[in-house]
Chain A
Amino acid sequence: MDFLLETIRESFRLVFSADAEVMSALAVSLQVSSAAAAICGISGIPAAYVLWRSRFPGRGAVLLFNNAMLGVPTVALGMVLYLVLCRRGPMGFLELLYTKEAMILGEALLGLPIVISLGHSTLSALNPAALETALTLGAGRFRTALTLIVEARIGLAAAVMTAFGRLLGEVGVSMILGGNIAGDTRNIPTAIALETGKGESALCLSLGMILIAAGFVIFVLLRAVQGSARGGNA
């Protein structure tokens, strides 16, 4: 019991003393996950729109593959990307392995199916009158797409935030592609994995508390975004 209380006390001290190691891991987590979530949003929302609006051979297979990717083990994806990015791999010349850029790439690929799948569902649930109104008012293809994405913005924002939340706590891709280098590619999940092995319970707990707090902040932000975005069409 004393051990548990002491661990909790020490973890709070680490959080509130802004421990350099903790802050560095937090910064890497936020940088990598934010960049990856942004890529997911920028590429995933248009992809979801195209999959929703277009009819082309293989569309069903693409949707099926995307949905299957939702359940892909992160270590498996990390391993595949490792083979691609390692020095002897086809993209080895880019020298991305063990960099934040490699982590961003891996996390973006991990988050993309989430945004596409949730984005596709959101757009499919959009009032069909929104599309018809844009068309009958003479909107071209691009204006129609922009209009419908704006109309579905609440659900699409939720899709990106959900992906961000998932990426913030992801270990496999970060560990394999980032290499868990202290002060460089070590983020909160990889730090927790490392420190657990070393028996640094207080540090692990403090990092875990930060992850939970980050998740809480994400959902508060999401509610705020949804609240301010409401008031479009009833």
Chain B
Amino acid sequence: MPNVLVIAELLDGKVRKSTHSAITFARQAGGTFSILVMGQGAKAAAAEVTGFGAQKVLVCDDAYLAHPIAERFAPTIAEVAKSGNFDVVAVTASSFGKDIAPRVAAKLGAGYAPDISGVKVDGGKLVYRRPVFAGNAYGTCSLNTPVQVVSARQSEFAAAEPSGGASPIEDVALAAKDPAAENVEFLGIEAAKSERPDLGEARVIVSGGRALKEKFSEVLDPLANLLGAAVGASRAACDAGYAPAELQVGQTGRVVAPQLYFAIGISGAIQHLAGMKGSKTIVAINKDPDAPIFQVADYGLVADLFVAVPELVNELKKATA
């Protein structure tokens, strides 16, 4: 049974909810697991993940890890994986996880299974499932190395719930610094400040396409506000500058699977479908009855979105009053 090292991701001194997907992976792998919390302020954040049934919560709290730089994190992850005899290193396939995991794999001489959507144990071996061709096919694969690295798709591994208990917290030392890290300098992060839920965690997402033009926010915000939804966008809407890049849902951008997904004025290009096909209920509003989005939508409405969306807001207000 594998012993899994889960790498937690910190944001503003807190463990990101995305980490809970990697914990779910570790539980499904069927063995034991520990969680490594790294970063400046990791010590305070560690308490957030002691209730998930991990054997240990390992902490590396150091100012050197104040910013998410792969060259700074990878040596300590690899060192802990080795000294703790871990079989699998698991991250969630966020931009942080995808940046760092291959670097860790290369340090460990480990195989890497990226962006996996499932795991099972078959004859004592871990077998992974992962989407290829923008989610138009799924491959079953295994890694041929004793130590393995995986990144788990947040949209396919539901966030783990606490299971009680209190994992002991243990400090681990920062490993010897990687010389490559001296050639990277963190200059800053421009983060979109938003009161809305993160796309990866939202129960409802309201996404818009190029058809919204300059009225992207004007039309979508009332609907998103009413439903407490995250706002997403198609590539075309981002490219045209109607929506900021970090809202993009798709093969480039975020992969999401909310309970309810509104695709408004989105035609349904393959690369967009790749990012939202796993949503539980999909609603499409588009004036083109032949738009490919209607092939994946549970409920399609052929209408002018500039009329239909405000009307929808009014009807929803009545229905939920």
Chains A and B are bound partners:
no
Chain A interface (Cβ within 8 Å of chain B)? none
- B residues with a Cβ closer than 8 A to A are none
